[in-house]
Structure 1
Amino acid sequence: MDTMSCDVEAVRSATSVAGARESARDFLEGLGRPPMTAEAADTVVLVVSELVTNAVRHGGGTCTLDLTAHPDSIEVAVHDRSPRAPRMRTPDLNDGTGGFGWPMVNRLAHTTSVTREAAGGKTVSALLTP
């Protein structure tokens, strides 16, 4: 099992999300197994982007991204300081202010989970089967 952890720092900054996407791409390219399809890699990167964006926007401004390669899946886990779980909401089609990310993650992932941490905060995980 291959794992990677990277801290995503900037407070509400697009560069932190971009950095998370780049870290995910680097992680996937560095796996010691046959490369996954471009579509599967893009799906992992999209889920990373959505979960990190949600954590930065709604979870206190900073988060930690952990990626784990299992024999036939990739786990994306994002830890933040907020105890509030992501929620489904009706997407705003008029001004595009959001509501699309969590439903999309749930559709793309094999499973998702939210674990509240005893010390505070939570971990949002998505298991993808490329």
Structure 2
Amino acid sequence: MLVGDRAEHGGCTGHPDDYVLRSGRTLNADGGRIADARHHTAAFLDQAAQEHGLPVPAQTRDLTLLVVSELVTNARKYAPGPVRIELRISARTVEVAVSDTHTAVPAARPADPRRIGQHGLEIVKAVTEEFTVEQEPGGKRITARIPLIQEQRAGDAGTAPS
């Protein structure tokens, strides 16, 4: 459950999909809300690692901050009202949800390497394992799920355990 701008411990029962930590924050309408969202997210991930022992790989951290930046930037660009960011973390994933007051459902544009800008949604969809858009009264909620533990791919450096 979310409580204002504070994190709340989720009472994890040990199931990998149970949320260990949740946090929510409403961002001001000024230009600083993107930086505020990134700082809030970094502190959230630090808390998950330090207080709950969840390993947050550097790649997951970077991708989560990228997703937050892109979603909050789009909300700031298209929605006139406040933006709400909610973060959740389990043993498997980091979930980022951004709610805004714009009712239009965003759509990724067709790939065009000559296009300058407007690639944010393409990027978010490419780096997340799940992406959903839900319409809500007076706006929408975009949720992106980033895997917490990156699996080693065939051909990557390193050896598999014997």
TM-score in terms of structure 1 length: 0.88
Shift of 1:62: 2.5
Q: RCO (CA 8 Å, sep 6+): is it higher in 1 or 2?
A: 1
Farther-moved stretch of structure 1 (20-29 vs 35-44): 35-44
Task: Give yes or no for contact 2:84–2:98 (8 Å, CA) kept in 1.
Answer: yes
Question: Which residue of 95, 118, 137 corresponds with 1:99?
Answer: 118
Task: Give yes or no for contact 2:28–2:82 (8 Å, CA) kept in 1.
Answer: yes
Farther-moved stretch of structure 1 (31-40 vs 69-78): 31-40
Task: Give yes or no for contact 1:29–1:35 (8 Å, CA) kept in 2.
Answer: no
Which residue in the other structure is 1:27 paired with? Answer: 44
Structure 2, unaligned runs of 5 or more? 1-18, 149-162
Shift of 1:92: 7.6
Q: Percent identity?
A: 30
Task: Give yes or no for contact 2:54–2:91 (8 Å, CA) kept in 1.
Answer: no
Q: Distance in 2 between matches of 1:47 and 1:65?
A: 11
Shift of 1:40: 1.1
Cα-to-partner distance string for 1:3-36 (whole Å, 9 max, x where unaligned): 000111124x1x1101100100000000112331
Which residue in the other structure is 1:52 paired with? Answer: 72
Q: Secondary structure at 1:30's aligned position in 2?
A: helix
Question: Which residue of 111, 128, 150 corresponds with 1:109?
Answer: 128
Q: Secondary structure at 1:77's aligned position in 2?
A: strand
Cα-to-partner distance string for 1:39-78 (whole Å, 9 max, x where unaligned): 1101001001100111111122530000011231111000
CA 1:92–1:59: 2 relative to 1, 3 Å: farther
Which residue in the other structure is 1:36 paired with? Answer: 56
Cα-to-partner distance string for 1:70-115 (whole Å, 9 max, x where unaligned): 2311110000011111111256846x3x211000000001010000
Report runs of 4+ in structure 1 exceeding 6 Å deviation: none
Farther-moved stretch of structure 1 (105-114 vs 80-89): 80-89
Root mean square deviation, CA, Å: 1.6
Matched AA of 2:26: D
Q: Distance in 2 between matches of 1:43 and 1:120?
A: 29
* Count of aligned residue pairs for this structure pair: 125
TM-score in terms of structure 2 length: 0.72
